[in-house]
Structure 1
Amino acid sequence: MSATSYINGLGFYVPPREVTNADLEDLVETSDEWITARTGIKVRHHAEKGTPSSDLACEAAKIALRQAGVEPGELTHILVASCTPDSYCPSTATALGWKLGANTPMAVDLNAACTGFLYSIEMARALVCANPHAKVLVAAAEVLSSRTNWEDRTTCVLFGDGAGAAVISAEPTDDTPLRIGKLLLRSDGQYGDLLTILGGGSRTPYTLGETIREDFFIAMEGREIFKHAVRNMSALCQEVLEEAGMSIHDVDLLVPHQANLRIIEALGNRLKIDRDKVFSNVQRYGNTSAASVPIALTECKEGGLIEPGASVLITSFGAGLTWGAGLLHA
């Protein structure tokens, strides 16, 4: 893929309702000390019950579009990455386009779980390559609280709701765009049962009147996910750097998936990157799945952490299993 493509606008949105570790102590047998020691998370944001992912995506998209100087009617494609879509049918992407007032662009959902934003960037880049005049909105949005088992203390403390968005095109429209560089994506379905949201799908359907089972909610083998996440993300990051003719010393900022602080720290140690170059906001938002990388990127850009000429390494890992790594250049 030879065409150059740019992230011209970034935006994110999280619901105003904050859920602290102390709040969770009233729901499940846990403590702030236990959660902090194992995850690094202090606060996460939860949407009100019945809030669709498209509502969160819409707020993030408005910010990204404004920053990129692009009107909704100019969009040619909308991609929404989510494992908690508004519904199976219709798609969250079509709902988002309608809420934005977009002019009937192509709109489609994509589910690569936590790696969804990176997968969507690759799809957006391919669309721009095929149509140099394309303006693609990528939104990653999750309402994970809607699929959280509040009796499972190993998972309910981890997840937050939120959305991030990016506008991608062949030409820079933002004053400080990010050029999309080398990007590699991987998957391995043999380990799919390590992290699941099964209930209600064709594999495990419900019948009318049946009580919702535990498999409707997030289930995860935490220790196994930890090992696969650190090993696969670090290996792919190194592969991306090698193919780009770079080393870890050329990276100005590492923006990883915000799963938990232990994974982030283990990844940084394995890559042998300086700790002050590793960005983390998992303390404030928890794991927002596909939305975590664009939320983090937006905060980095808004906070002046991505200076002109900087090289940013992004990476993520999610259910599927799926993972990816890529370079962005300021």
Structure 2
Amino acid sequence: MKSSITQGVKLLATGSAVPNLCISNQVISNIVNTSDEWIFSRTGIKERRILSNNNSLIDIASIASLKALEKTNLNAIDIDLIILATSTPNDLFGSASQLQAKLGANNAVAFDITAACSGFIIAMVTAAQFIQNGNYSNVLVVGADVLSKWTDWSDRRTCILFGDGAGAAILQSSSLISNNILGFHLNTNGQKFNQLNIHYELDKHQENVFMSSMQGKFNVITMNGKEVYKFAVSKVPQSIQHCLDSLNLSVDQIDWLLLHQANARILNAVASRLMIPKKKVISNLEKYGNTSAASIPLALDEAIQDYKINHGDLIVLSGFGAGLTWGTIILKWQV
């Protein structure tokens, strides 16, 4: 049963953070048999940021969150809810509580959402539901992933793609008139889960027969690139069109298209299918690679900082990835 909407949702501010260590395509080519030209021509990626030393997911997630908070009149103690979208937590039981503690957001409920590259979109929709139903007023949504620790650096198919990063957004209850999130569409195809995953492997060398049936470890990222490409260029335009149709909006009314930063070929193909000109596509893929749940908020924050996005602009945010999951949000930017 749907709850009645009593509040609008205002996007107050965004923030982002990336590690200092920059790994160029040239560095990658010293590890595996590849080259800068080969990587860039197939992915659109020139470099990526990798977490190093003793830094963790929570470190970059907290920096992104604090940057967002600094742009508002709120303190951490004013946050009611924290949703951390990540598939690479510090703790398998969840890391949102660690972020809550690090920020000093002691009044906030905190939990994780695991949906890989669609995580930020699903977290934003979840946050909007809590606000629209009148349960919470100030919500911090963070997309953060450290994919480097789950990457096989000897696998040329995947090691060229991924980087680490974090992005944050603060949502606040508002009047229905000033509502920023106009609509959304979410979907999942669990039949295709094995096309992109980090699967759990049982330890076959356990001496204890009983224990060997339970204990093991997670492997590294595996991906069927061709299938993921076909999935993205097919399902994402459909999701965006469905969302626009539900709001009686046309593609021509879109000011900016911001897709999950997975691969330049996917970004170009989706824009082409919707007949959206390249000048309307926001991308920072070249600098950061695929940062999973961080990619959309990271690119959104940079576009806002660069004054690319103006008051009243209509922005389509769309994420897609492991699960397989995909989703779209139609956002109207208001200063």
Asked whether the two chains share a fold, i.e. TM above 0.5, the reply is: yes
SS in 2 for 1:183: strand
Residue 127 (structure 1) shift: 1.1
Question: Where do residues 145-156 of structure 1 align in structure 2 (5 Å cutoff)?
Answer: 145-156=148-159
Question: Where do residues 33-72 of structure 1 align in structure 2 (5 Å cutoff)?
Answer: 33-72=37-76
Deviations along 1:72-101, whole A, 9 cap, x unmatched? 001111100001011112x21000000001
- Structure 2 counterpart of 1:272: 275
Counting aligned pairs with the same residue, the percent is: 37
Q: Is the 8 A contact 2:130 2:136 kept in 1?
A: no
- Structure 2 counterpart of 1:185: 186
Over the residues paired in the alignment, what is the CA RMSD in angstroms?
2.0
| In 1: Cα distance, 2:179 partner to 2:222 partner | 35
- Structure 2 counterpart of 1:12: 16
- Structure 1 counterpart of 2:212: none
1:217 aligns with 2:220: yes
| In 2: Cα distance, 1:64 partner to 1:153 partner | 36
| In 2: Cα distance, 1:214 partner to 1:222 partner | 24
Q: Is the 8 A contact 1:8 1:178 kept in 2?
A: no
Pick one of 135, 138, 151 that aligns with 1:135: 138
Q: Is the 8 A contact 1:7 1:167 kept in 2?
A: yes
The one-letter code sitting in structure 2 at the alignment partner of 1:44 is R
The one-letter code sitting in structure 1 at the alignment partner of 2:192 is Y
| In 2: Cα distance, 1:256 partner to 1:186 partner | 16
Higher Rg = 2
Q: Is the 8 A contact 1:149 1:214 kept in 2?
A: no
Residue 9 (structure 1) shift: 1.0
1:122 aligns with 2:125: yes
| In 2: Cα distance, 1:83 partner to 1:95 partner | 15
Residue 178 (structure 1) shift: 7.8
Residue 205 (structure 1) shift: 4.1
Residue 114 (structure 1) shift: 0.3
| In 2: Cα distance, 1:265 partner to 1:243 partner | 24
- Structure 2 counterpart of 1:160: 163
After superposition, the Cα gap between the structure-2 partners of 1:50 and 1:146, relative to the gap in structure 1 and judged at 3 Å, is farther
| In 2: Cα distance, 1:49 partner to 1:145 partner | 13
Aligned length: 320
1:236 aligns with 2:236: no
Q: Is the 8 A contact 2:8 2:179 kept in 1?
A: no
| In 1: Cα distance, 2:280 partner to 2:185 partner | 21
| In 2: Cα distance, 1:279 partner to 1:105 partner | 32
Pick one of 31, 37, 50 that aligns with 2:35: 31
Pick one of 256, 260, 281 that aligns with 1:257: 260
SS in 2 for 1:265: helix
| In 2: Cα distance, 1:8 partner to 1:132 partner | 18
Deviations along 1:122-167, whole A, 9 cap, x unmatched? 1101111233552111111111000000110000000000000011
- Structure 1 counterpart of 2:330: 327
1:289 aligns with 2:292: yes
Q: Is the 8 A contact 1:132 1:169 kept in 2?
A: no
Pick one of 250, 253, 263 that aligns with 1:247: 250
- Name structure 1 gaps, 5 residues minimum: none
- Name structure 2 gaps, 5 residues minimum: 208-214
| In 2: Cα distance, 1:213 partner to 1:277 partner | 46
Instruction: Give TM-score scaled by structure 1 length.
Output: 0.93
| In 1: Cα distance, 2:171 partner to 2:316 partner | 18
After superposition, the Cα gap between the structure-2 partners of 1:208 and 1:117, relative to the gap in structure 1 and judged at 3 Å, is farther
